[in-house]
């Protein structure tokens, strides 16, 4: 009898729980980075001086920048536009903006606080990037400027704006930009070049999607634009693929060359031709890991069929670099530009980037992998690789091999002369 009551009580509890559970189908664009990505380098996803959006809002170490958010808003409202216009614009998109985030904790932020956050953060992004362009163009002096007087602050702000968890919807930024824009010839994308590490001309020439989720997604589109055009003409590669390390490929006769920069050359464009692997130069600095990790996180949450160019690129690097010796091989040929110190530091960065960075469903470098493996799989190239690995890996074994070859040659010559002298008629 007691078991029946217990079972009945559990049924009632579950029924009440389901009645109170509200499910609506949404397609969010921002998540908290899951543990499998975050555990390799947690700090890569956390802002250093400014919070954008709700996920890091209210952290004590980020509150100092709230002063500059207010300063930029007041500076903007000096124009003849009352704040009500901006507030009403945010109110009209508030619910759509909430659906942009996957976390339930967003529901705990009340409407006024959420709208205020979107307004302050959106205006901060716009005015900071505008001011960056003005400073770069000589319109504003750095000296005495609260933000641009310090390269340290500017560098950290550019870093924080590229974090996957530190975003607000792009449609909010665009709406605020249109309200505050008095130059009809200027688009918001004209301001994002400092974040892309590309030239203004390259950004202007990129055909960007109108449905970019957020600032990181927009920058991702710029950085992958030219490579996406190349990949659109090639077939997809679905099967799992792998290649040997740079050291092993070098022993198999493959040569590494830095790919010459050009207007049609993308930093992602790796090609293999005539036993030569051409790779654009990659500069590894203290900023590299964070930028790559956040672009990988962005691609991680894209729909399954979406191309994942940066993840595929990192997977390629991870295959090539299985030890510090591989880093040395690529550095010596100009493929890797090391701004971090020793090769071990670069290797550790690649290991952390490559952890859980699996090649995508339609792998961007499937054709390159096939060509490399076909070359390495030929018997002659295998023999050459074994010879180099076991007999030519240091000067002493090489000299021993040469000495043995010379001795063998002399023995053969001596044998020939002996035979000839024996057959010579007396």
Express each pLDDT in 160-173 by its tens digit.
999 999 999 999 99
**pLDDT for 266:** 86
pLDDT reading at 7 higher than 70:
no
Give me the half-sphere count of Cα atoms (radius 13 Å) on the Cβ side of residue 23. 4
**pLDDT for 341:** 84
CA–CA gap between residue 256 and residue 249 (Å, rounded)? 9
Of 40 and 395, the structure prediction assigns the larger pLDDT to 40
Averaged confidence pLDDT in the chain = 84
**pLDDT for 410:** 73
Confidence of residue 84 (pLDDT cuts 50, 70, 90): very high
Q: Which residues neighbour 42 within 8 Å (Cβ) at sequence distance 6 or greater? A: none
CA–CA gap between residue 356 and residue 133 (Å, rounded)? 37
- Yes or no: say if 123 and 76 are a contact pair by the CB < 8 Å rule: yes
Of 269 and 105, the structure prediction assigns the larger pLDDT to 269
- Yes or no: say if 297 and 217 are a contact pair by the CB < 8 Å rule: no
Q: Express each pLDDT in 212-241 by its tens digit.
A: 899 999 999 999 988 988 876 565 566 677
Token pair recorded at residue 193: 């070049």
For the chain, the domains span: 2-228, 234-383
CB burial of residue 253 (10 Å; 0-12, 13-18, 19+): middle
Q: Express each pLDDT in 37-72 by its tens digit.
A: 888 888 899 999 999 999 999 999 999 999 999 999
Place of tokens 């509200």: 22
Token pair recorded at residue 106: 């967003």
- Yes or no: say if 88 and 80 are a contact pair by the CB < 8 Å rule: no
For the full predicted model, state whether its pTM sits above 0.85. Answer: no
Confidence of residue 277 (pLDDT cuts 50, 70, 90): very high
Confidence of residue 247 (pLDDT cuts 50, 70, 90): very high
- Yes or no: say if 321 and 267 are a contact pair by the CB < 8 Å rule: no
Q: What's the N-to-C CA distance of the chain in angstroms?
A: 123
CA–CA gap between residue 375 and residue 291 (Å, rounded)? 34
**pLDDT for 392:** 52
Sign of CA dihedral 186, 159, 266, 229: negative
């Amino acid at each position: 009898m007691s078991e029946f009551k217990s079972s009945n009580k559990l049924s009632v509890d579950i029924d009440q729980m389901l009645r109170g559970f509200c499910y609506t189908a949404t397609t969010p664009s921002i998540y908290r980075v899951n543990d499998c990505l975050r555990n390799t380098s947690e700090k890569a996803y956390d802002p250093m001086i400014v919070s954008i959006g709700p996920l890091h809002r209210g952290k004590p170490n980020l509150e100092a920048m709230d002063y500059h958010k207010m300063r930029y808003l007041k500076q903007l409202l000096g124009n003849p536009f009352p704040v009500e216009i901006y507030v009403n614009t945010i109110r009209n998109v508030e619910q759509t903006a909430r659906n942009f985030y996957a976390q339930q904790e967003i529901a705990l932020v009340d409407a006024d606080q959420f709208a205020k956050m979107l307004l302050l953060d959106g205006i901060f992004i716009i005015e900071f990037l505008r001011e960056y362009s003005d400073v770069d163009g000589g319109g504003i002096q750095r000296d005495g400027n609260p933000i641009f007087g310090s390269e340290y602050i500017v560098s950290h702000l550019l870093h924080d704006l590229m974090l996957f968890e530190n975003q607000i919807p792009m449609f909010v930024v665009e709406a605020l930009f249109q309200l505050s824009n008095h130059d009809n010839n200027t688009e918001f994308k004209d301001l994002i070049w400092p974040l892309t590490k590309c030239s203004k001309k390259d950004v202007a020439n990129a055909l960007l999607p109108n449905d970019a989720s957020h600032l990181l997604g927009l920058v991702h589109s710029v950085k992958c634009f030219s490579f996406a055009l190349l990949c659109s003409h090639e077939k997809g590669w679905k099967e799992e693929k792998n290649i040997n390390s740079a050291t092993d490929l070098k022993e198999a006769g493959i040569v590494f060359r830095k790919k010459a920069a050009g207007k049609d050359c993308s930093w992602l464009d790796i090609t293999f031709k005539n036993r030569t692997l051409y790779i654009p130069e990659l500069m590894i600095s203290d900023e590299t890991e964070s930028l790559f990790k956040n672009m990988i996180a962005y691609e991680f949450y894209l729909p399954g069929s979406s191309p994942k160019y940066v993840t595929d690129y990192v997977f390629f690097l991870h295959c090539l670099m299985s030890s510090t010796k591989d880093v040395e091989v690529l550095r010596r040929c100009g493929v890797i530009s090391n701004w971090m110190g020793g090769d071990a530091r670069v290797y550790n960065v690649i290991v952390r980037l490559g952890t859980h960075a699996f090649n995508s469903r339609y792998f961007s470098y499937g054709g390159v992998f096939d060509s490399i493996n076909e070359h390495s799989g030929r018997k002659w190239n295998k023999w050459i690789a074994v010879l180099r690995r076991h007999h030519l890996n240091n000067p002493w074994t090489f000299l021993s091999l040469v000495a043995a070859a010379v001795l063998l040659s002399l023995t053969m010559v001596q044998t020939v002369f002996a035979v000839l002298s024996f057959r010579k008629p007396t």
